Amino acid sequence: MAAARRRRRLSHGRGRRSLAARVRRSLVALTLTGLACVAAYAGLRSAGFRPRWEVEAPASVTPGELPGRGAAALSPQAAAPPPTVVRVEADPPLPEYGRPAQGRFERIEFETYGDGRPVRSNSAVAEEWRALGLVLSFESYTADAPSPHVLDARGYLPEHASMHALGPPLSGDLGLEVGVIHLDFPGRPRRVAFTLFGPDLIDSFLVIVWSGGERLPEATAAHSPDTRYGTDGNPDAGQATYSPGGRARFRAELVVVGAAGGIDRISLDGWGPPGHILLLDHLEIDP
């Protein structure tokens, strides 16, 4: 009997030690999983991916008064909690314009409005360049903003780039909205070219083209490095990547769109996933 009691005590002791070991292993596994998730999230943040892009502006500064690079220019560093979004793919209605190849060649730099007035930084724009053949709008499933903004984008652009670029709406202290920028062309030009800036970890910047009421193949928009913005500001480097503010790398792409039937609309889709910023500059409209 004594021997049996000793065997039971030994068996119970081993069971308790085995249970404690399993609990310890489970805790270690959970801890490692949590650390891996935190590291992955931090990596995405440093790479420039955002459901919403934040600004680092003091609460007392209004969006229209954001200072430049040395103070609190738009920054790719901060992020808001991601919204829960189910995106439904649907082509938005297109305006009805006339025959193709109307108007004349125009180049828009987004430093002045169509009438020659200097642009107001971080302000909504829509028909300010209609006389030059451009109408703008914005589509989002997480925001009600109907128009993109002309941004003081020096926090995202190469150091030798111009000050302003066309981008998504700036929603006060919440940052830049995620969505799609639509460029409509009343003159239905047969060629449009522009420079896109965005995070280099996005494999392909999605540019959607419509002509004659139909969505054209993605190959209609030809992408190539814009070597005016070479690596680290060197235009002879043969590349077009840079680090805004020393953070994750961005790249500059020259996009050329051609459609013999005339271009109705070009959409810049920053939805992702993950949602990311797209900025546009140096727009050329060629009938």
In this prediction, residues 82-88 reach a mean pLDDT of: 41
In this prediction, residues 40-68 reach a mean pLDDT of: 41
* Greatest mean pLDDT among 25-29, 199-203, 239-243: 199-203
CB 253 within 8 A of CB 226: yes
Backbone φ/ψ region at 3: left (φ over 0), alpha (ψ -120 to 50), beta: alpha
Domain ranges of the chain: 63-286
Check whether 51 has a pLDDT greater than 50. Answer: no
**For residue 198, which of 146, 136, 230, 242 has the smallest C-alpha distance?**
242
* Percent of the chain residues past pLDDT 70, beyond the cut: 63
> C-alpha angle 125/128/129, rounded to 5°?
120
- How confident is residue 230, by pLDDT bands cut at 50, 70 and 90? low
Per-residue pLDDT, 252: 96
* Greatest mean pLDDT among 6-10, 26-30, 146-150: 146-150
Bigger pLDDT: 9 vs 247: 247
Per-residue pLDDT, 89: 47
How many residues belong to the chain? Answer: 287
Sign of CA pseudo-dihedral 88, 281, 234, 223:
positive
In this prediction, residues 5-13 reach a mean pLDDT of: 52
Per-residue pLDDT, 77: 42
Check whether 33 has a pLDDT greater than 70. Answer: no
Per-residue pLDDT, 228: 87
| 3-class SS of residue 55 | coil
* Percent of the chain residues past pLDDT 90, beyond the cut: 51
Check whether 181 has a pLDDT greater than 50. Answer: yes
Q: Is 196 exposed, middle or buried (0-12, 13-18, 19+ CB in 10 A)?
A: buried
- Label residues 200-229 b or e (16+ Cβ within 10 Å = b): bbbeebebbbbbeeeebeeebbeeebbbeb
In this prediction, residues 126-137 reach a mean pLDDT of: 98
Only one residue has tokens 């596994």, namely 29
- How confident is residue 78, by pLDDT bands cut at 50, 70 and 90? very low
Per-residue pLDDT, 227: 87
Only one residue has tokens 């119970």, namely 12
Check whether 70 has a pLDDT greater than 60. Answer: no
- Label residues 129-166 b or e (16+ Cβ within 10 Å = b): beebbbbbbbbbebbebebbbbbbbbbbbbeebebbbb
In this prediction, residues 192-198 reach a mean pLDDT of: 97
Distance CA 40, CA 223 (A): 29
pLDDT tens string 141-178? 888 899 999 999 999 999 889 999 999 999 877 789 99
Only one residue has tokens 């700036």, namely 170
Only one residue has tokens 């430093």, namely 111
Bigger pLDDT: 242 vs 174: 242
User: Tell me, which fold does domain 63-286 have in CATH?
Assistant: Jelly Rolls (2.60.120)
Is the peptide bond prior to 148 cis by the omega test (within 30 degrees of 0)?
Answer: no
Distance CA 181, CA 125 (A): 11
In this prediction, residues 208-230 reach a mean pLDDT of: 93
**For residue 163, which of 66, 96, 241 has the smallest C-alpha distance?**
66
Distance CA 141, CA 180 (A): 10
In this prediction, residues 174-189 reach a mean pLDDT of: 94
Name the phi and psi angles at 207, rounded to 5: -120, 120
Q: Which pair of tokens denotes residue 150?
A: 């002309």
Is the peptide bond prior to 274 cis by the omega test (within 30 degrees of 0)?
Answer: yes
